[in-house]
Structure 1
């Protein structure tokens, strides 16, 4: 397989897609009903295949890989251990599988990869002086326990009636309609929560202490996605708190948690597309977030909800956007210098 855009790589081995990033059509004004309908129900679109796939994964997880609510009315080591082992297995399969496919077996070579640089080895920035081992350590020994802890609290709360309908809930039409609404809104909730949580972590108070761990990964791979300081894991997975307030059934909360847990594998893959054979590919959807790791002060959220465009931090991946970002940062530095001078 060859990278059809390889002639566009610069002297550092970096590549950018030929077309700029396009925001979801729900962000355009005036609205275009035809474009929105195609995006909602088309392939690929909002529902199919990705969000539907993760929803099916959550349903299967709930039905076959989760103890009953009755068993989780009291917190006991056996069922907490089941959830922890199940979640570790999911992460090893998804994150480890993608890493093996793309970077060990090199199944598609450098095709659609944003940079040809290797992961850091012998670098003191990383635990064990090795980027991938460091990423695996933080993902498995911090990320998995933290989102499992959120899951434990969720099920215990539902089982004891503190959240949702408790263990005796009914199955009215309104009940399930609300569950469907929350399924549809879960990716939006994730996107909005991620933006504001991410901006919080970029403040001076929190960045150096916590978020810098994640930004040690300038050139990202699947294992970079959940490689964070434990405090950042707590902030990031707190997206499920929204479902604590809204959901009537714990499966809505599980879907929210799994979106947060699983989406970073593809968004940090380092590839625009993950090719499965000659004709089928997965849209990595990662150029938007890759630019954040590359430039640091742009694209704090995602392309689903236009919060970056609203707050002036949007980068669409073009050369023109590079220049606009440099000018924005220059103007900000000048403003800060003026403020400091005024107090001298």
Structure 2
């Protein structure tokens, strides 16, 4: 595919889409019902459908019997960790293998024209972003993902929280499933903005931001505090009347869905004329500029409401720079005082 039909490339080889990021159509004015209806299939397919499919697969083939989960134990916890780790290795690893190792589409649609393997740095373990990100994912984030999973499954199984049945509560649970990605966006925005507070950024979030040029293995490369807070989104289903399958879906939106913002490519070419939209650009801009787009794609447009939204346009960059100048002026005023 010719990526220059969809965007432009600068002298450094970095590619950017021509179309600016847009909020979902129900937030745009004037309201257009046809646009909202056209957006629904995109919302469901393929990413959210994939996360639901994996949640159902876990429930049927991986999650232990309720009697087992009523008691906390290393056996079933380690089993869940092994499956989670294997799944991420296969899923993230496939993207890494084809698009970063074999480079099947070169740098077409790639935001940053360089690959992490070409940029060794002392900020990473063994001076390698790939090794550092891989080790942090499998020995920090995925264990904490599993801890969250074990805790909420145990809470449901032991009767500490209501376990709503699908037969009696199918409408509510259906709605809750559909809005789970929105719950993720709100939770992610809140914890993400929190760990950008200077002291927390220095000691916690800077680990993730070392990957200025993110790749699939960067997705779950986090400090333990961030990793726990990020996956703790599933705990909302211990507060909201829910069902463990919906909580699993919520967890998978976070765990498997983290790769979307870190793929590094706007489109993944599947054939010569078909490509899969990654929805990576909003979060790539966050990695590039640090203080924009703390949430996701604007499903709940908190970034827009709080003035952090960057849509990739020159106007968006001007708004960002104006905000940076105001922040700099405030800091200078405080230091002068």
**Under a length normalisation based on structure 1, what TM-score does the superposition of the two structures give?**
0.93
Task: Tell me, yes or no, if the aligned pair for 1:74 and 1:156 is still in contact at 8 Å.
Answer: yes
Kindly state the Cα deviation for residue 306 of structure 1 after the two structures are TM-superposed. Answer: 0.9
Aligned equivalent of 1:317: 312
Task: Tell me, yes or no, if the aligned pair for 2:126 and 2:132 is still in contact at 8 Å.
Answer: yes
Instruction: Tell me whether 152-161 or 5-14 shows the greater mean CA deviation.
Output: 5-14
Q: Distance in 1 between matches of 2:142 and 2:7?
A: 40
Task: Tell me, yes or no, if the aligned pair for 2:21 and 2:282 is still in contact at 8 Å.
Answer: yes
User: How many corresponding residue pairs?
Assistant: 335
Task: Tell me, yes or no, if the aligned pair for 1:274 and 1:283 is still in contact at 8 Å.
Answer: yes
Kindly state the Cα deviation for residue 13 of structure 1 after the two structures are TM-superposed. Answer: 1.6
- Name which of 179, 185, 188 aligns with 1:191: 185
Q: Distance in 2 between matches of 1:13 and 1:301?
A: 27
Instruction: Tell me whether 137-146 or 319-328 shows the greater mean CA deviation.
Output: 319-328
Kindly state the Cα deviation for residue 57 of structure 1 after the two structures are TM-superposed. Answer: 1.6
Kindly state the Cα deviation for residue 164 of structure 1 after the two structures are TM-superposed. Answer: 2.2
1:84-130 Cα shifts (integer Å, max 9, x gaps): 10000111011111100101111111111112112154311001110
Q: Distance in 2 between matches of 1:119 and 1:319?
A: 27
Instruction: Tell me whether 146-155 or 297-306 shows the greater mean CA deviation.
Output: 297-306
Q: Distance in 2 between matches of 1:253 and 1:128?
A: 37
Aligned equivalent of 1:249: 243
What SS class does the counterpart of residue 46 from structure 1 fall into?
Answer: helix
Q: Distance in 2 between matches of 1:60 and 1:23?
A: 31
Aligned equivalent of 1:163: 161
Aligned equivalent of 1:213: 207
What SS class does the counterpart of residue 269 from structure 2 fall into?
Answer: strand
Q: Distance in 2 between matches of 1:139 and 1:155?
A: 22
- Name which of 252, 262, 282 aligns with 2:256: 262
Aligned equivalent of 2:72: 75
**Under a length normalisation based on structure 2, what TM-score does the superposition of the two structures give?**
0.95
Aligned equivalent of 2:23: 23
Aligned equivalent of 1:62: 59
Kindly state the Cα deviation for residue 336 of structure 1 after the two structures are TM-superposed. Answer: 2.6
What SS class does the counterpart of residue 275 from structure 2 fall into?
Answer: strand
Kindly state the Cα deviation for residue 5 of structure 1 after the two structures are TM-superposed. Answer: 5.1
Aligned equivalent of 2:228: 234
Task: Tell me, yes or no, if the aligned pair for 1:164 and 1:250 is still in contact at 8 Å.
Answer: no
What SS class does the counterpart of residue 242 from structure 2 fall into?
Answer: coil
Q: 1:7 to 1:249 in 2, by over 3 A?
A: closer
* CA RMSD, Structure 1 to Structure 2 (Å): 1.7
- Counterparts of 1:289-300 in structure 2, within 5 Å, are 289-300=283-294
Q: Distance in 2 between matches of 1:171 and 1:269?
A: 35
What SS class does the counterpart of residue 4 from structure 1 fall into?
Answer: helix
Q: Distance in 2 between matches of 1:203 and 1:299?
A: 15
Kindly state the Cα deviation for residue 265 of structure 1 after the two structures are TM-superposed. Answer: 1.3
Task: Tell me, yes or no, if the aligned pair for 1:298 and 1:308 is still in contact at 8 Å.
Answer: yes
Aligned equivalent of 1:124: 122
Task: Tell me, yes or no, if the aligned pair for 1:315 and 1:321 is still in contact at 8 Å.
Answer: yes
- Name which of 168, 174, 180 aligns with 1:180: 174
Q: Distance in 1 between matches of 2:241 and 2:199?
A: 33
Kindly state the Cα deviation for residue 35 of structure 1 after the two structures are TM-superposed. Answer: 1.6
- Name which of 316, 321, 325 aligns with 1:326: 321
Q: Distance in 2 between matches of 1:3 and 1:106?
A: 15
Aligned equivalent of 2:14: 14
Task: Tell me, yes or no, if the aligned pair for 1:247 and 1:253 is still in contact at 8 Å.
Answer: no
Q: Distance in 1 between matches of 2:43 and 2:3?
A: 28
